[in-house]
Amino acid sequence: MGHSFSGAGPGSLGKSTEQRRRVLVTGAAGRIGSYFAEHSADRYELRLMVQNDGQADSVRGHGEVVTADLADLPALKRAFAGIDTVLHLAANPDASATWKPLLETNIIGTYNAMVAAKAAGCRRLIFASSIHAVSGYKREVQVKTSEPPNPGDLYGVTKVFGEALGRYMAEQEGLSVIAIRIGGFQPLERTREEGSLGMCDAWVTDRDLTQLFHKCIDNENLRFAIFHGLSNNAFLRLDLSDARELVGYAPQDDVFALNPKLAPLDMALKVYNHSVSGPDRSGLRDDL
């Protein structure tokens, strides 16, 4: 099976740098973007892109605020000038959306963002993909990044397009692209609500997702990758191995510990791997 990543050069794929990078965030006024801006301003020089002046107040004070529309390619090229990494979050997030609104933002807008990043000489673009790119798999399947996309809706189809375009841009045009399939991004308070159990295997908290963004921005040697963006839940709908091994992602939160109805079950302790580290140790231990 083919790899869902490729290296940019010799050396460790997990190599990173401590230099202060210039990072532009599209969709900076959204829930993910505003949290990232608030918790990254001391780490990067941020340029925060919003669609109109009315959105600027939510991110003002965390970096330079610029106004541009994804439909305006020349404006994007100007906004991306001098930027090291573009964190492309802007999208229509409606999983039930029909084709036309998805086309304008998630297809044309994603194309424009990647082309503008290449034209402006950016090193990398991080694409906010979604678990919906593989939501067509049955619930009993833990999806790996190396498995074929299987979208469960048109929204997921647009995210698959972004992943494919990103690989083209990385392998053929020289713009490094990392796609992150973001899971159920919700405030911690949601874990205490009725009806939250259905998302427990796909949950990702704001601080875990921001950590993954940081790891992907700082990495030096990846040319292209697809990573899964979930927290450290006791059960995982998507496999996190690539993100852990290639960029050192170490998610901190577990929805099963945060939900008061589930916390007493101590799922992290009671569910163990069937390996030499589990309570049923391999018989080989006696001969070592």
pLDDT in tens, 72-126: 999 999 999 999 999 999 999 999 999 999 999 999 999 999 999 999 999 999 9
- The pLDDT confidence band at residue 69, using thresholds 50, 70 and 90, is very high
Cα separation, 76 vs 106, whole angstroms: 15
Average pLDDT score over the chain: 87
pLDDT band for position 258 (cuts 50, 70, 90)? confident
In this predicted model, which residue has the larger pLDDT, 273 or 51?
51
pLDDT digits (tens, 9 = 90+) for 33-60: 999 999 999 999 999 999 887 788 878 8
The fraction of the chain above a pLDDT of 90, given in percent, is 67
Contacts of 72 (CB under 8 A, 6+ apart): 112
For 128-183, write each residue's pLDDT tens digit.
999 999 999 998 899 999 999 999 999 999 999 999 999 999 999 999 999 999 99
Enter the tokens of residue 134. Answer: 């593989």
Distance CA 20, CA 33 (A): 19
Predicted confidence band of residue 199 (pLDDT cuts 50, 70, 90): confident
pLDDT at residue number 165 = 98
Locate tokens 């979050």: which residue? Answer: 89
What is the per-residue pLDDT for 148?
A: 96
Altogether, the residues listed in the chain come to a count of 288
Q: Which residues contact 236 (CB under 8 A, 6 or more apart)?
A: 142, 201, 230
**Angstrom distance (rounded) from CA 96 to CA 94:** 5
The stretches of 220-282 forming alpha helices (DSSP H) are 241-247, 255-258, 267-270
pLDDT for 279 beyond 80: no
Contact (CB, 8 A) for 232 and 201: no
Label residue 273 by pLDDT band (50, 70, 90): low
pTM as predicted: 0.87
Q: Whose CA is closest to 253, among 195, 187, 197, 198?
A: 187
**pLDDT of 257 above 70:** yes
Q: Answer with the residue of higher pLDDT: 191 or 84.
A: 84
- Choice between 238 and 200, residue whose per-residue pLDDT is larger: 238
pLDDT on residue 274: 53
Three-class SS of residue 138?
A: coil
| HSE, side-chain direction, 13 A CA sphere, residue 162 | 38
Closest alpha carbon to 214 in 76, 37, 50, 63: 37
- Specify the pLDDT at position 186: 77
Using alpha carbons, select from 204, 110, 201, 119 the residue that is nearest to residue 158: 110
Edge to edge, the sheet with strand 85-88 lists 5-7, 222-229, 176-182, 124-130, 85-88, 22-26, 45-50, 64-67
Mean pLDDT of 185-202: 73
State mean pLDDT over 252-271: 68
Question: Does the pLDDT at position 259 exceed 50?
Answer: yes
Domains belonging to the chain, first-starting first, are 5-261 (3.40.50.720)
- Say which residues have a Cβ less than 8 Å from residue 52's Cβ, sequence separation at least 6: 67
Residues paired with 128 in a beta bridge: 180
pLDDT of residue 17: 57
* 248 and 217 Cβ atoms separated by less than 8 Å: no
pLDDT of residue 57: 81
pLDDT value of residue 11: 45
